[in-house]
Structure 1
């Protein structure tokens, strides 16, 4: 495993991490979760990602129970949660958003579900137009000072809002966001590569990127339709299916990438994951898996990095242009 600093902080995260979105508490029960977390940890993964909204808190309960059962030294790994959407169905106004009340109460609730005393990373899952940024920054600063959060950050925030959070933090001597969690893959690049370009040096931001496989599109499994057991076929993810497959040129790009992977003797999945790691501003690539063999295969992406020389990178760019 390789390890990378989280932006300008001193925290080192595994280049590949493991997330619970969609799977834990839904496709993956406790027995499977135990097997997957143990496999990830044994392969050097030291960051496990979660959120209050994932299966309405059940993903955190499953992860917390399993980590407690596995008894990994708490100082050997990092766990995250995210706040904004709420953990209950049809949340009341005070049960969602980034108000001081919800940020702090959601942190306490996440800690209870995860069976932990602190969160290593805590993300504002989306920007909140109804809450002043200074209120959210102050709430996060309070949690940091109390030792309940080690690093806080944002997820899918526009660069302008992130810069405002840093300005407010500096003016008021508060803890500033350390990281952003954006979507990043061969088919979704502009925010990480263009919009955030000035943030990496000026604000010292790191990124914990999600969906390196574009919700499975970059595995090639949707080239001929949607398999019945795929994520995009799951009830409740119609919005994701429309977003992922609604752009007609995506499948064409994936088909152009396949010959490159074939010539390298690797899978399209591993090629797509490894490509994300070529970006020096990517602190960690979050993997998701519901089966042991799937996670083992994805972890193998690290081994193919040396094959992605300049000539191969140029061919990849041409394929997805």
Structure 2
């Protein structure tokens, strides 16, 4: 409940206490009991109103997301097919325009998803389901998801030490995190530069995945706020890319829901490295054992 509502109810109680006639005995207790009940009713009414508003907001966002996401996904697929010549040969100039339109549609899809996820986090309803998964599969899927985008930006992406790594995690949510980190790294990079994903371990009980670029780095004044909502990265070509500023705050929530950590190191002019640390799970095979020896 909002602080203003609590203060308002307290002030009403104080006003009633000052204005009432002097009472004694049972009348005094009865009056106090009545005022307390009125305060409790007012508090409950305010809380219910907030719950109703939150529910309406969730329903509105869910409807908007569905109504916009489906046609945008179809449009993105058609643009990709056009660019790949599935509808017949098209001039290179048309392919270029189709590629630019495809990137714009993709950004809209990401914006819609981030707005909905942020609203779910506020309501405590963002679903993160932990099961035994191979982290390698999530990294592979995220890398393939951004490969076309990297090619269009003429940025090279590579992975190091990628092998089966077993954790308790939500595959789809981790793919979302890695896509966000890789996309940010690609945006920050100059053509012909390298974005690298590296898998290692810490103390044999955790896996650490880093995503690094050699871009312009994050300005020092932005770094303390990097995981706050609505913080827009202003590095490299990202200065010209509009976003919600929600991506990294959502990543932080997802990783912490995995009992992990997300951290970063950045130096202006030298690039940025984000790393995610997640707990390993015990396995009968030697995959995690090999990782712990790196």
| TM bin (shorter chain) | under 0.3
Bigger relative CO (Cα 8 Å, ≥ 6 apart): 1
Give the TM-score, by structure 2 length. Answer: 0.25
Give the TM-score, by structure 1 length. Answer: 0.24
Q: Which has the larger radius of gyration?
A: 2
